[in-house]
Amino acid sequence: MLRIILFLVIVYLIVRVLKKLIRPRKQFTRPPGQTVIDQMKACPKCGTYNPSQQAHPYKGLYFCDRECLKAYQKEAV
Ligand SMILES: [Zn+2]
């Protein structure tokens, strides 16, 4: 009985080592349907990159702060 358990343990260890050899690096994959939470958006006014959640969206553009948004709106008019 002890031999069987020992054999199984050895087989398990061999399988583990083989799996590591086949896939040495674990690739990080996003679960499907989950969007990127923090996309970096460039401010069209000053060119600073900001996380889209902190940026001020305006007509599909993302501004770093309200000053840039206002300046852009003034220029656009
Ligand atoms: Zn800006």
The closest of 23, 22, 58 to 41, measured between CA atoms, is 58
Which residue segment(s) compose the domain that 45 sits in? 2-25+35-76
Ligand 1 centre from 77 Cα, in Å?
18
Ligand 1 centre from 54 Cα, in Å?
12
Ligand 1 centre from 37 Cα, in Å?
21
Between 76 and 61, where is the model more confident? 61
The reply to whether the predicted model has a pTM over 0.95 is: no
Residue 61 maps to a domain = yes
What pLDDT is recorded for position 48?
92
pLDDT digits (tens, 9 = 90+) for 26-65: 666 766 665 556 778 999 999 999 888 889 999 999 999 9
Sorted by sequence, the CB contacts under 8 Å of residue 45 that are 6+ apart come out as 63, 64, 68, 69, 71, 72
Residue 30 maps to a domain = no
Residue 70 maps to a domain = yes
Residue 10 maps to a domain = yes
Provide the 10 A C-beta neighbour count for residue 56. Answer: 18
- How many distinct structural domains can be found in the chain? 1
